[in-house]
Structure formats: structure tokens, C-alpha cells
Amino acid sequence: MADTAVHHAEHGHHTSTGLSNNKLGMWLFLGSECLLFGGLISTYMIYRGRVGEGPRPGNVFDIPFTSVSSFVLLMSSLTMVLAVAAAQKRDDRGTTLWLTVTGLLGATFVGGQMYEFTAMYNEGLGYTTSLFGSAFYTLTGFHGVHVTVGIIMLFSLVAIIKRSNVPGDKAEVVELVGLYWHFVDIVWIIIFTLVYLIPA
């Protein structure tokens, strides 16, 4: 990518607003995702008390455990932002290092979520046990899928940077993946408080 530098200098400047198409598109997508998670969170809020014969939220949540995995996800936002900073300095080694760390932290979070789901299932909360169960697994599952997609993007990006064939502006691609990653993190900030810390 010999022309990356030239391209970087120019990027965005031939658009009417001077902003990059890709970044504008990503922000629009994130704005739209607010309505998606809003709908899932609201559904959970309506149904969290409808436990039927099954366990109540307070009985199945393991707050200390979830606090740790929330902390892990929060810190992955720091490593992500370090990857973006490295990419902007054209430091490929730093970029791939921090992207890998971010991906691993994300994988830890997803692993924790799987462990948590298994533990809840063993305590009697299946997907179809109650409306609370369905709504809870749907909401956290959607978030988990978003994190997983993010992890796949992070590791793919590492592989692609190593083979140095990112089409277009490398720093921008890292930044876009970063925006998505931070968004997944802020959604969890909300879920952690509204779902876990505030009891039904």
C-alpha cells in the first residue's frame, strides 16, 4: 500500500462536508443501534418481574462475578483506544498488539457470559422458563452477539494488517472498528446498571 500516505492526507477532503463517508456511515449505524437496544431493554423492563414459577432476577444474578466481567469489558475500551492511537502513528506493531489484547479481553467477557448463562440455567432459569428468562437471555444474548462480531472484526483486522492489505486508510479502519467496540461497551454500561444493579 504505497499510496496509503497520500490517500490518508486526502481522505475525506473531497466530500461536501469534509468528513469521511465511512465514519459518517458508522455513526449513523450506531445511532440506529440505539433504537435496537432501546427496544430490547424496554422489553426486559416490562417483563423482568414476570417470573412465573421460575427464579427471580435477584436469585440468579451473581453481582461480584458480573462486576468483574463488566470491568474487563470496560478496560478493553482502553486497549482499543490505544490501538487507534497506535494506528494513527502508523505503528503496525503497536496496533496489532493492542487489537489482540482488546480481542482477548472481549473473549474473556464472552466466556464469562457463557459461564454465567450456564450457572443460571443450572439454577433453573432456561430460555423458556419465564418471560423474565426469555427477555433477559434475548437482551444479553444480543449484546453478546455484538461483542462476538466485534471480536471477529478485531482478529480479522490483525490478520489483515499483518498481511498489510487493508484497502483504503488503515488508521480509519481501526478507528471504525473502535467506534463499534466502544458502542458495545456503552451498551453494557447501561445493561449492567439497569439489569443487574437495580433490582426488579
Partner 1 sequence: MTTTTEAHADHAEHQDHAEHGMSIRGYVTIALILAALTALEVSTYFVDFGPFFMPVLLILMCVKFFIVVSYFMHLKFDNKLFSFMFYTGLFLAIGVYAAFLATFKFFTA
Partner 2 sequence: MAIIEQPAPVGAPALPAAPTPTRTYGALRRPVATTGWKSWVFTVDHKKLGIMYGVVAMFFFIVGGIEALLIRLQLAAPNGKVLSADVYNQMFTMHATTMVFLFVMPMAAAFANYFIPLQIGARDVAFPRINAFGFWTLVGGGIIVNLSWFLGGAADGGWFMYAPNSGPVFSPSHGVDFWALGLQITGIASLTGAINLIVTVLNMRAPGMSLMKMPVFTWLQLVVQFLLLFAIPVITVALFLLSFQRNFGATFFDVSAGADPLLWQHLFWIFGHPEVYVLILPSFGIISEVLPVFSKKPLFGYPFVVFSGAAIGFVGWGVWAHHMFASGLGPVSVAVFSIATMAIAIPTGVKIVNWTMTLWGGKLRFTAAMHFAVGLIVLFTIGGLSGVTHSVAPSDTQQTDTYYIVAHFHYVLFGGAIFGLFAGFYYWWPKMFGKQLNERLGKANFWFMVIGMNLTFGPMHMIGLQGQPRRMYVWTEARAGEGFFNIAFWNMVASIGAFILAFGVLLFLINVFKTTRSKEVAPLDPWDARTLEWMTTSPPKEHNFDAIPTVHHLDEFFHRKYEQDPNTHEMKQVATAEDILREQEANADKHIHMPSPSYWPIVLAGGLPVIALGIIYSIPVAIVGAAIVVLALFGWSLEPSTAPDSDFDPPASGDGTKELAPLG
- CA-based nearest residue to 161, from 82, 76, 97: 97
Q: Which is nearer to partner 2, 173 or 195 (CB)?
A: 173
Contact between 156 and 115 under an 8 Å Cβ cutoff? The reply is no
* Per rule CB under 8 A, count of chain residues that contact partner 1: 48
- If the CB atoms of residues 14 and 163 are measured against partner 1, the closer one turns out to be 14
Say how far apart CA 92 and CA 166 lie, in whole Å: 12
What phi and psi, each to the nearest 5 degrees, are found at residue 19?
-100, 155
Nearest to 76 by CA among 191, 198, 177, 199: 177
Determine the Cα–Cα distance for residues 72 and 121; give it in Å rounded to an integer: 23
CB of 163 to partner 1, least distance (A): 27
Please check whether residue 48 is in contact with residue 130, taking contact to mean a CB–CB distance below 8 angstroms: no
Nearest to 85, CA basis, from 156, 174, 176: 174
Binder to partner 2 among 39, 114, 123, 189 (CB under 8 A)?
39
Residues 54-83, one symbol each (x = binds partner 1 by CB under 8 A, - = not), give ---------xx--x--xx--xx-xx-xxx-
Look at residues 57, 151, 79 and name the one whose alpha carbon lies nearest to residue 111.
151
Residue 132 CA from chain centroid, whole number: 23
The binder of 165, among partner 2, partner 1, none, by C-beta within 5 to 8 A per type, is partner 2
Among residues 99, 105, 125, 131, the one that binds partner 2 under rule CB under 8 A: 131
Task: Tell me whether residue 20 or residue 69 sits nearer to partner 2 (CB atom).
Answer: 20
Q: Does 164 bind partner 2 (CB under 8 A)?
A: no
C-alpha cell read off for 140: 444479553
Q: Quick one: cell of 18?
A: 469534509
Q: What does the binding site for partner 2 look like in residue numbers (CB under 8 A)?
A: 14-17, 19-22, 24-25, 28-29, 31-33, 35-36, 39-40, 43, 46-47, 50, 52, 127-128, 130-131, 134-135, 138, 152, 156, 160, 165, 167-169, 173
Q: What does the binding site for partner 1 look like in residue numbers (CB under 8 A)?
A: 17-19, 23-24, 27-28, 30-35, 37-39, 41-42, 45-46, 63-64, 67, 70-71, 74-75, 77-78, 80-82, 84-85, 88, 178-179, 182-183, 185-186, 189-190, 192-194, 197-198
